[in-house]
Structure 1
Amino acid sequence: MNRLRGATWRRTATIAVVVVCVGYAPIAMTELWPYAHRGAPAVGEWLLGRAVSPRYIADALATRIGPYGRSLAAMILHSVLGGVLMLLGPAQLLSAVRRRIRLHRALGVVFALTVYASMTGAAIYLARTAPRDAFSGPAFWIVLATILVGTVLSVTFGILAAVGNRPDLHQRWMLLCYGYLMTAPLLRLEWGALPVLLPGLSMADVNRVAVMHLGSVVAFGALLASRAMDKRDTAPGVRGTWVPMPVLAAAHVVGASALVWIVKSFLGWGATGQRLLAAYLIPFLATYLIMFVCQRRAGQSGRSWAREEWRLHLVALCLAPLFSAAAGLFFERSMGLDRGTALAAGIAIGCGMLAFAATTMVSLRLMFGREVLKRERLTTTARPERGPARVG
């Protein structure tokens, strides 16, 4: 029954991801056409204008003409190739699930090259746009830059894992890469949903609310996909744990202290602070509870590798508030931002960057286990065999 239920959830999640990606592809490809040719069709703008209001769209896009115009060719390259990636992602996932190895490798090469080209366009835009001129301000610029770096590094590490014949690591890095890419369609969904839940907000305000949790949501989705595809109870050479109870307890104490400080800071900023705090805290606590329960159940059922991976990510999640607080102080002093904007930027990138760090630790854990097995084999091979004693 549990296996059947798990298979149903995996199938449902796969279908949902495919529908979102395929539906967003034409939106991404046509999003910037009106900036190049006035009156050109833009599917996303048309849909959003009917879901919310034309005024909501007009007010949001009026301030984008100048910043986008300075990097229009690069932005169009980024958006069109972003739509292509939305189609390549599901194709890659389905080819991997169905064991179409040659097709998967060919699509993988196209996917990686498209990621690099698309992110090059985004990098040109960010380099030519001051943080204060970015949509929704400096915090959004920092989030975009962080997603860009995380996406490029993830696909690079995924390629290296594939070349090194480590499909388990390749799978995790590529899922994390696609998780970062999924921030684009999910943000567009929130552009349509949040004005219904929070009437009166501009699109810039919606962006500030959305980035409070998008990094946490996509990174957690990548982890769920990794765990669903890795059905091993144990991993080769992985013994014991890198996260004993004292380490896990210390991470909880440190993370809780930083989280209390963040809550107090946001509560001091009135209604805006409370709105941002709720957007951050609710998904964070939900993610924490699921991770905690999953690592506990894995330990009780004797699935040591599943427990280890859950625990590594749980520690990273616990430390995310500390990282966010430190990053907020850094942005405040280095970029001259006000404390609220700086802390919001730190929170927006905290969970996503710590998930990247956790995936790195998972990769090192698996690689270390592989080296342990190699050393054991070498020791066994080099050990001289004892033969019968000679009679003098």
Structure 2
Amino acid sequence: MGRTTSTDTSTGSVTGEGSRQDPGAPTVIGTGAGRGIRWGRVSALAVTVVCLVYAPIAMTELWPYATPGAPAIGEWLLGRSVSAEFVADAVRDRMGPYTRSLIPLIVHSVLGGLLMLLGPVQLLSAVRRRIRLHRVLGTVFAVTVYVSMAGAALYLLRTPPAEAFSGAAFWIVLATILVGTVGSVTFGVLAAVRGFPDLHQRWLLLCYGFLMTAPLLRIEWGVLPALYPGLSLQDVNRVAIMHLGALVAFGALLASRALDRRTEVPGLTGTWVPAPVLVAAHVLGAAGLGWTTGALLDQGAQGRRLFLAYLVPYVLTYAVVAVRARRARERGAVWAREEWRLHLAAQCLAPAFSAATVPVLERTMGLDRITSLIAGVGVGAGMLSYAAVALVSLRILHGREVLARQREFIGADGSN
């Protein structure tokens, strides 16, 4: 009521009190009513609850390492959901690595808790089109990400992979998440400055997806010991590595598609994923998945456990993306089909990338086979999800470039 809207003809988005020339304006693309939006609200509410609960846990998590005996909400909850012995083992395993970089890690965890609060507020300010609030909090969010990740980077630089909490595989995956988080927020900021709200939206959702690995990992700390009694915290983390990165990136994709209701993007013609390319991606992916399966199953009971943790989420995610791509084609949603297919190709290639990464990690870092397999799966999921968003961004930018050239040609032809 009383709010003006303007349509951005170059992106097909509708923004409140702003346009493509206002890079600070929050944008939610095509937020029409429907079943998908209702599910989106439920998902947004669930994420918000998780963030609000986890924020104080993150902020107090390292207090006992600075002052033994200091209260920590996370330890208190974990001790009652699992056991006091599980918590004691976790503290003992982390004491050595964390003590050497305690101040950077405190900065990282406290600001990480702040990011958990800023994320839902940013999404709400975008939905409500609160431009000034969104712009100010967006600046705070980006700066907080950089400072928080700098703390994590100092910890990783000061800690040899083999001496890190939960071992070398965990160190490698943390480094991958760090690079993905910083890269995503950087591209998101650049997209906002250049006036590309749809790209800004995608990159920031991916960034927040990477950040969500922290609270989701803590949930798995409380859940997995019930499924695998007696499993150590290091083994719990290894199970989580097999799917967490892929799941948060999948969540970011679902959010992006739910907010972008466009059927076409101006200037977008043809496809970057024709049938031969998609078939080749499936062949390479099947080969990579087959090799990874055999390598994991050769590792005994631990390998079988890790294989299930990897395969089940992978198959479910693949099925959803493939079905969504087919449904988009059936209803003539050209842009939705293209984005789903780009992500589908990337997901197919992730196992092949992981399989190729394993021998590289073994030779360059001297890791054993099981550690290299775990790290390879985590790196492959993160890298290919990041690459998929990059390809989607390039696809949109290419469409705009085509449209701009068409306009220049029409203008030149008219002047003649």
Shorter-chain TM-score: what band?
over 0.9
Whether the aligned pair in 1 keeps the contact of 2:78 and 2:222 (CA below 8 Å) is yes
For 1:179 and 1:324, the matched residues in 2 are separated by 20
- AA matched with 2:247: V
Residue 295 of structure 2 corresponds to 265
String of CA shifts for 1:290-319, please: whole Å, max 9, x gaps: 000000000110000000000000000000
Please state how far the C-alpha of 1:385 moved relative to its aligned partner: 5.4
Residue 240 of structure 1 corresponds to 270
Residue 382 of structure 1 corresponds to 412
Residue 203 of structure 1 corresponds to 233
String of CA shifts for 1:340-364, please: whole Å, max 9, x gaps: 1111100012111101000000000
For 2:34 and 2:192, the matched residues in 1 are separated by 31
The question of 1:334 aligning with 2:364 is answered: yes
After TM superposition, the structure 1 = structure 2 runs for residues 1-392 of structure 1, keeping only pairs within 5 Å, are 4-384=34-414
Please state how far the C-alpha of 1:136 moved relative to its aligned partner: 1.4
Please state how far the C-alpha of 1:65 moved relative to its aligned partner: 1.5
Partner of 1:383, secondary structure, is helix
Partner of 2:71, secondary structure, is coil
- Structure number, greater radius of gyration: 1
Please state how far the C-alpha of 1:7 moved relative to its aligned partner: 2.3
TM-score, length basis structure 1: 0.97
- AA matched with 2:216: L
Please state how far the C-alpha of 1:63 moved relative to its aligned partner: 2.4
Please state how far the C-alpha of 1:330 moved relative to its aligned partner: 0.7
For 1:354 and 1:344, the matched residues in 2 are separated by 16
Whether the aligned pair in 1 keeps the contact of 2:296 and 2:373 (CA below 8 Å) is no
Whether the aligned pair in 1 keeps the contact of 2:285 and 2:350 (CA below 8 Å) is yes
String of CA shifts for 1:161-219, please: whole Å, max 9, x gaps: 00000000000000000000000000000000000111110111100000100011000
For 2:171 and 2:263, the matched residues in 1 are separated by 41
String of CA shifts for 1:6-31, please: whole Å, max 9, x gaps: 22211100100000001000000000
Flag structure 1 segments of 5+ consecutive residues without an equivalent: 387-392
For 1:34 and 1:4, the matched residues in 2 are separated by 47
* Higher RCO structure (Cα 8 Å, ≥6 apart): 2
Please state how far the C-alpha of 1:3 moved relative to its aligned partner: 5.5
For 1:35 and 1:21, the matched residues in 2 are separated by 23
Partner of 1:305, secondary structure, is helix
Flag structure 2 segments of 5+ consecutive residues without an equivalent: 1-31
Q: How many residues align?
A: 385
Whether the aligned pair in 1 keeps the contact of 2:37 and 2:258 (CA below 8 Å) is no
Displacement over 4 Å in runs of 4+:
none
Residue 390 of structure 1 corresponds to none
